[in-house]
Structure 1
Amino acid sequence: MKQLIETIVKPLVDYPGDVRVAMDEHDNRVIYKLAVNPEDLGKVIGKQGRVAKAIRTIVYSAAGGHHGKKVYIDIVD
């Protein structure tokens, strides 16, 4: 899943080398924390959060339940 997120985000940003995805797994959920260069934050979020919502939709669909765990994506600054 980390690879999928990186594959989606890297073409969108000016500094693809700064894209980092960390996974934090709990009992009933998996949280992927996406960090990008501060200058790229607006590009990843998009107008009114449209790009972030699209990324989340793709990842949630690909996760397909992820062994009964809810998947979340946090964009950290």
Structure 2
Amino acid sequence: MKSLAEMVEYIARALVSSPDEVNVNHEILVENDQEKHIIHLIVDENDKGKIIGKDGRVAQAIRSLLRVAAVKLNTRINLDIE
């Protein structure tokens, strides 16, 4: 899972104007004996629009990549942009 958080960080740093302000935290929750992974992506306030993209397309693309990985790992992964 650490590699997925690193992937999100790599993508985010490539998109934003302030790559040094990008932070990624990984949290694991257990609900009904099933793990749920939450990746918190924290970016500068001025860069949120670049991460979300027009009509949320960039954020949706990142979430799609995570969804593919989640299926392969038989788990759930959520991306939280802060």
| TM > 0.5 | yes
Unaligned runs of 5+ in 2: none
Q: Which has the higher contact order (CA 8 A, sep 6+)?
A: 1
- Normalised to the residue count of structure 2, the TM-score between the two structures is 0.83
Counterpart AA for 1:40: D
For 1:63 and 1:15, locate their aligned partners in 2 and report how far apart those are by CA, in whole Å. Answer: 29
Partner of 2:52: 45
CA RMSD of superposed structures (Å) = 1.2
Output aligned runs, 1:27-66, within 5 Å. Answer: 27=30, 28-66=35-73
Could you tell me which of 48, 56, 72 is aligned with 2:78?
72
Structure 1 or 2: more helix by fraction: 2
Partner of 2:26: 23
Unaligned runs of 5+ in 1: none
On the 8 A contact 1:4/1:59 being kept in 2, the answer is no
SS at the partner of 2:27? strand
Aligned residues: 75
Give 1:42 shift.
Answer: 0.4
Give 1:61 shift.
Answer: 1.5
Partner of 1:7: 10
For 1:50 and 1:57, locate their aligned partners in 2 and report how far apart those are by CA, in whole Å. Answer: 10
- Normalised to the residue count of structure 1, the TM-score between the two structures is 0.88
